[in-house]
Structure 1
Amino acid sequence: MTVNCILSGVGGQGTVLASKLIAQAAMDKGQNARTAETIGMAQRGGCVVSHVRIGDEIHSPMIPKHSADVIIGFEPAEAVRCLPYLKKGGVAVVSRKAIRPVTASLGNSAYNGSEMMPYLQKEAAKLIVVDGDKICKACGSAKVLNVALLGAACASGMLGLSMEELKTAISKRVKPQFIELNTKALEEGAKAAEIMQQCEE
């Protein structure tokens, strides 16, 4: 069984760390994991896309289009940009808050991300929208959105990893003083996804 996950955001959101946590958790349970990043002017707010593939028969770290089980979108427009990778029946986990790209700021665009949600709802078989601001506020840090989204993806059941496996990965990959903070963010993200899924049933 192969699990393909795309993580898409902008520079500074922790996209690469999130992909490393997924890979670490998979390797800890004896699975093969390959990752690759496509980074475009990330330090200036450009897009960052990480590919994570888990499974026995993985010959390339790059995920083919229409093959991703999960898309984790750190920003609505970036999630839309990666939708061609999502397979039929896949899940999109998306942060509600938009980050205006430099081009939008220069052109006085009114982009706020809300216009992306109906399209995501239409195109993704399953959409989990996460209120990242609310979770970050509850955790006391604006830097844990990446881990909160991981928690939501885990709760979707499509990532193939358990919360405990991701917590162990956090303990290995995150500095000791930030482990508790990130663990809380993981739990809050999973809780938010579970509540949303219950409401839809």
Structure 2
Amino acid sequence: MNILLAAVGGQGAVLASRILGKMAQNSGLDVKVSEVHGMSQRGGSVVTYVRFGEKIHSPIIEKGTADIILAFEMLEGARYVEWLKPGGTLITSSQRIDPMPVITGTAEYPEDLEERIQALPIHYKVIDALTYAREAGNPKTINVVLIGALASTTDIEEEKWHTAIKESVPDKLADINLKAFKIGFEMSQLTKSNGENDEI
């Protein structure tokens, strides 16, 4: 399984990668998690790779080989759709965070971004992760809401995800993150049809 995570600095992509890695390890799989690529400070673009299976030799995901892109912001996800394999899945938050060129006025945020993505031959799911994170009790749990949405597309037992979350966050934050995971998982399941162009 090849999973590319695309986010903006400060959204918790590193923690999400850690949860994925722990889940794979606890499932008895070989796992490689890449270093963070890009500007990891708040506001910069962040990309991480998580690969797991019977034997993984390299942490790098090549273009056209990602099974899933988990995007914390829609434009960040769109930047990397070329990394998806044919029939791969893009799971993205609907949240919009303007990158620096948009903030400084040297570029415009593409207003037709969702339409462009929908025209691609990929499976595609948009989730209002920020609203669900707030429902869980903390807007910073967007990352775990998205992990829940991702988990709903796999056949990996929920308990393995729960264990990975509890092993990756401080004890005092375990309950709120487990709630965020549950909301993301259940809301993703509610609208699942054939997996193409779902919006939740």
Q: TM-score, normalised by structure 1?
A: 0.91
Judged with a 3 Å threshold, the aligned counterparts in structure 2 of structure 1 residues 114 and 140 are, in CA distance, closer, same or farther, namely farther
Partner of 2:188: 193
Per-residue deviation, 1:108: 7.2
Of 145, 169, 174, which aligns to 2:142?
Answer: 145
C-alpha distance in structure 2 between counterparts of 1:199 and 1:25, whole Å:
26
Identity %: 34
Verify: 1:43 aligned to 2:41, yes or no: yes
Measure the CA separation in 1 of the matches of 2:15 and 2:134. Answer: 20
User: CA 1:199/1:65 → structure 2, altered by over 3 Å: closer, same or farther?
Assistant: closer
Higher normalized helix content (fraction of residues):
1
User: What is the CA–CA distance in structure 2 between the aligned matches of 1:110 and 1:170, rounded to whole Å?
Assistant: 37
> Residues 68 and 45 of structure 1: is their aligned pair in 2 closer, same or farther, counting only changes over 3 Å?
same
Question: What CA distance in whole angstroms lies between the structure 2 residues aligned with 1:20 and 1:174?
Answer: 10
User: What's the CA shift for 1:39?
Assistant: 3.0
Q: Could you list the per-position Cα deviations for residues 6-25 of structure 1 after superposition, in whole angstroms to 9, with x for gaps in the alignment?
A: 00001000001101100101
Over residues 28-72 of structure 1, what are the superposed CA-to-partner deviations in whole Å (9 max), with x where a residue is unaligned?
111000010343222141111010000123111001111111100
| Residues 152, 192 of structure 1: 8 Å contact kept | yes
Q: Is the 8 A contact 1:25 1:161 kept in 2?
A: no
Conservation of the 8 A alpha-carbon contact between 1:92 and 1:124: no
Residue identity opposite 1:74 in structure 2: F
Contact 1:39 1:46 in 2 (8 A): no
Contact map agreement 1:4 1:70 (CA 8 A) in 2: yes
Amino acid corresponding to residue 138 of structure 2 in structure 1: S
Could you tell me how far 1:199 is from its partner in structure 2? Answer: 9.3
Match of 1:68 in 2: 66
| Aligned position for 2:54 | 56
Aligned to 2:26: 28
1:79 aligns with 2:114: no
Q: Which runs of 5+ in 2 are unaligned?
A: none
Structural RMSD (CA): 1.9
Secondary structure of the structure 1 residue equivalent to 2:35: strand
Secondary structure class of the residue paired with 1:63: coil
Gaps of 5+ in 1: none
Counterparts of 1:162 and 1:5, CA distance in 2: 18
The whole-number CA distance in structure 1 between the counterparts of 2:165 and 2:74 is 25
The verdict on how the C-alpha distance between 1:79 and 1:88 changes in structure 2, with shifts beyond 3 A counting, is: same
Given the superposition, is the C-alpha separation of residues 43 and 127 from structure 1 closer, same or farther in structure 2, using an over 3 Å criterion?
A: same
Aligned residues: 196
TM-superposition CA deviations, 1:53-97 (whole Å, max 9, x none)? 001231110011111111000001110111111011111100001
Q: Which amino acid aligns with 1:121?
A: Q
Q: Offset at 1:110?
A: 5.4
Residue in 2 aligned with 1:88? 86
Say whether 1:184 aligns with 2:182: no
